[in-house]
Chain A
Amino acid sequence: MTYPLLSVQDLRIHFPVRGGVMLRQTGAVRAVDGVSLDIAPGETLGLVGESGCGKSTLGKAIVRLLKPTTGSIRFENHDISHAGPHALRPLRRNFQMIFQDPAESLDPRMSVRAIIEEPFIIHGLGSRAERLQWVDDLLDRVGLPTSSAERYSFEFSGGQRQRIGIARALALKPKLIVCDEPVSALDVSVQSQILNLLVELQRDFGLSYLFIAHDLSVVKHVSDRVAVMYLGKIVELATAEAIYKDPRHAYTQALLSAIPSHDPKVKRKKILLEGDVPSPIDPPPGSAFGHRINHPRYPETIGADLSLREIFPKHWVAADPCCVSAEDWEKVRPAPAKA
């Protein structure tokens, strides 16, 4: 039996909402609400969705910066979902994270060398001389001059800072890197430099990525498969090709139609959604997207099992009568309960 590199099963992350004088828990933000996914070695899984859909929370939980409420996260078949700090430490070198804003994720009081060297020290690797060499090699690998090592992160531009963040993430030769909006704070001409670097590193080191972004063109460019998230749940999961050419879920279709086309002569037909993403504090009891678009079949979805079904090989879509065509619904509807 072979295992995927990462396997997430029915993951839920709820944050308590407290109120009143005694600060008793009055509710919960269901940031991630029943997510299952796998990532294979060397694969990029893109994760798209609008702000507040829980994609960053999911990413942070996978590298265990957050503790999930229920469900399992298995990394090479080790369950890390509830492991304590002690048990996690030796495993952590395998999964790293790159953040959106490198200015905030790099300590301004540490030199670039200290930032990149820190993982080696924490894991007790190498002699002082070896670590010096490794830091230089890493800087070189991400396209920064080795003279940068003695400078501080704020002396660099956004793109260069992101390179420092990538060097730090690469230091321990991880197998999986969670990239949380790695290019959205960058200018377009710098964005392509960083995307190219990520693609090259994957090719050279066989890395897997969970690539979180809201820019659908960028996600399509780097991903093998794409998961579309809406209000804490994955609503569609398929190869990048299938998601973009043949989306089956109404939300995916709306999201794709909203991407501005880069040709002024092509005016695509837009599916304009009403309103905003609903709050995950008090999510509608049935299909969240069906509720947003006020679908007539919404009442059927209350209490129903809306989990993903395989509509075509490797193309999964939520079994939600509000969000798939009538024809697709016949393929994905759960078998009627026996009387």
Chain B
Amino acid sequence: MIPETDNILEVDKLITSFETDRGLLRAVDQVSFTVPAGKTVGIVGESGCGKSVTAMSIVRLLPQPAGKILGGHVYFKGRDLVRASDSEIRKIRGGEIGVIFQEPMAALNPVHRIGRQVAEVFHMHKKLSKKDAWDAATEMLELVRIPAPEKRMMDYPHHLSGGMRQRVVIAMAMACRPSLLIADEPTTALDVTVQAQILDLMGRIQSEMGMSTILITHDLGVIAETCDDVVVMYAGRVVERASAEELFANPLHAYTKGLLHSIPTLDTPSKSLLNTIPGIVASLADYSHGCRFCQRMGRTTAVTRERPGFSEVSPNHWVETCPECYQPA
């Protein structure tokens, strides 16, 4: 057991592997971070960096049988989810931990009415009667600001727009008033104006319910706007971790700097050449044990063959201390 803290979730040296044709690949390689109660933690990185696999490992929704948690701990309110039984996990997932995925259409069953799907959550987790569950579901749709909820309950998912579907998914995730919400790219498939609505809604519900959120995204703008703390991942590892304010003002790892400088903002001079990170995000099978960002940059010096350490270089600011990618001031 871990000592009592204010953290609702502590991920400690989590290792998740996938069995593939090219051998066992560590999609998540000793990832550690904490989620303080009531706060939003963003996990950011490019495709294939392991951010979604990290989230899915927490709630044990890994593709089976290929995905396996090989090591580490995930303490949720003091319980280690890695070692919890399947029935315990089923109770927690959708109960105390809500999950939202990127593609709302994939999370909804196309052949059942919205009402039945939202009510099912109440029926399953809270053991409400059919009638009470239906009423609770209607109330939930109202909470996520779906206009005319009684009418929408009778609709099928394809009747709704992308933004409305995502609201339904949020309603289902919030149904049991979870203390932790995991949102995996919740606004990536949406237009900017709808994204703003959904982020606003999530922020409001979060402060009303006092819950914590893990927000997974590739969009640094969304991170800057909504997160208290940020975890930057690259090729299965955390390269930097800090509060959002600190990370944007004072990025320390070369990869974080590269990411921040490669996006045009409204203040970037027009048609100026942007900073780029050379190379591509390689397949995990192509990385060796050493610093993975050095491998992308084509640096092969001796120091990069060892796995760099990960340390707290200033209060609450952690960075992978590869001598090439991180130079202390």
Binding site for B on A (CB under 8 A): 44, 50-51, 157, 159-160, 187-193, 195-196, 199-200, 202, 214, 216-218, 220-224, 240-241, 244, 254-255, 257-265, 267, 270, 272-273, 275-277
Asked whether A188 lies within 8 Å of B46 as measured between CB atoms, the reply is yes
**Residues of A contacting B197 in the complex (Cβ-Cβ under 8 angstroms):** 272-273
Indicate the member of B147, B224, B272 with the most A CB atoms within 10 Å.
B224
CB distance from A280 to the nearest CB of B (A): 13
Name which residue of chain A comes closest to B283, CB basis: A157
| Interchain CA distance A188-B197 in the complex, whole Å | 24
Indicate the member of B147, B193, B268, B275 with the most A CB atoms within 10 Å.
B193
**Residues of A contacting B193 in the complex (Cβ-Cβ under 8 angstroms):** 50, 254-255, 258, 273
Q: Which 9 A-B pairs have the closest CB atoms?
A: A260-B221, A221-B264, A189-B277, A192-B262, A50-B191, A258-B196, A192-B274, A187-B46, A260-B225
Q: With an 8 A cutoff between CB atoms, is B302 at the interface?
A: no
Asked whether B245 lies within 8 Å of A192 as measured between CB atoms, the reply is no
Given contacts A50-B191, A189-B262, A191-B262, contact A221 B271 (CB under 8 A): yes
| Interchain CA distance A289-B139 in the complex, whole Å | 30
CB distance from A142 to the nearest CB of B (A): 14
Binding site for A on B (CB under 8 A): 46-47, 147, 161-164, 191-197, 199-200, 218-222, 224-225, 227, 244-245, 248-249, 258-260, 262-266, 268, 270-277, 280-281
Given contacts A221-B264, A270-B196, contact A159 B280 (CB under 8 A): yes
Name which residue of chain A comes closest to B258, CB basis: A189
| Interchain CA distance A190-B277 in the complex, whole Å | 7
Asked whether A276 lies within 8 Å of B163 as measured between CB atoms, the reply is yes
Which among A157, A193, A240, A272 is the interface contact of B270 at CB below 8 angstroms?
A: A240
| Interchain CA distance A283-B193 in the complex, whole Å | 19
15 more contacts with CB within 8 A, not counting A189-B277, A195-B274, A220-B270, are: A187-B218, A188-B46, A191-B262, A217-B266, A221-B268, A222-B271, A240-B270, A255-B193, A258-B193, A262-B224, A264-B248, A265-B249, A267-B225, A276-B164, A276-B194
24 contacts between A and B (CB under 8 A): A50-B191, A157-B280, A187-B281, A188-B263, A189-B46, A190-B280, A192-B264, A192-B277, A195-B264, A199-B273, A216-B192, A217-B221, A218-B264, A221-B268, A222-B270, A258-B196, A261-B225, A262-B221, A262-B265, A267-B225, A270-B196, A273-B193, A276-B162, A277-B191
Name which residue of chain B comes closest to A190, CB basis: B280
**Residues of A contacting B220 in the complex (Cβ-Cβ under 8 angstroms):** 188, 262
| Interchain CA distance A192-B265 in the complex, whole Å | 12
Asked whether B192 lies within 8 Å of A196 as measured between CB atoms, the reply is no
| Interchain CA distance A170-B120 in the complex, whole Å | 55
**Residues of A contacting B219 in the complex (Cβ-Cβ under 8 angstroms):** 260
**Residues of A contacting B200 in the complex (Cβ-Cβ under 8 angstroms):** 270, 272
Asked whether B192 lies within 8 Å of A50 as measured between CB atoms, the reply is yes
Name which residue of chain B comes closest to A156, CB basis: B280
Which among B221, B227, B271, B274 is the interface contact of A259 at CB below 8 angstroms?
A: B221
CB distance from A189 to the nearest CB of B (A): 4
**Residues of A contacting B47 in the complex (Cβ-Cβ under 8 angstroms):** 187
| Interchain CA distance A270-B192 in the complex, whole Å | 11
Asked whether B276 lies within 8 Å of A192 as measured between CB atoms, the reply is yes
| Interchain CA distance A339-B127 in the complex, whole Å | 71
Asked whether A214 lies within 8 Å of B191 as measured between CB atoms, the reply is yes
Name which residue of chain B comes closest to A276, CB basis: B161
Name which residue of chain B comes closest to A160, CB basis: B280
**Residues of A contacting B225 in the complex (Cβ-Cβ under 8 angstroms):** 260-261, 264, 267
Name which residue of chain B comes closest to A278, CB basis: B161
CB distance from A297 to the nearest CB of B (A): 21
**Residues of A contacting B199 in the complex (Cβ-Cβ under 8 angstroms):** 260
Given contacts A258-B195, A262-B224, A263-B248, contact A220 B266 (CB under 8 A): yes
Which among B162, B245, B270 is the interface contact of A221 at CB below 8 angstroms?
A: B270
CB distance from A144 to the nearest CB of B (A): 12
Asked whether B224 lies within 8 Å of A264 as measured between CB atoms, the reply is yes
**Residues of B contacting A272 in the complex (Cβ-Cβ under 8 angstroms):** 196-197, 200
**Residues of A contacting B46 in the complex (Cβ-Cβ under 8 angstroms):** 187-189
**Residues of B contacting A270 in the complex (Cβ-Cβ under 8 angstroms):** 196, 200
Asked whether B263 lies within 8 Å of A262 as measured between CB atoms, the reply is yes
| Interchain CA distance A277-B163 in the complex, whole Å | 10
**Residues of B contacting A222 in the complex (Cβ-Cβ under 8 angstroms):** 270-271
Asked whether B245 lies within 8 Å of A264 as measured between CB atoms, the reply is yes
**Residues of B contacting A255 in the complex (Cβ-Cβ under 8 angstroms):** 192-193
Name which residue of chain A comes closest to B200, CB basis: A272
Indicate the member of B195, B225, B259 with the most A CB atoms within 10 Å.
B225
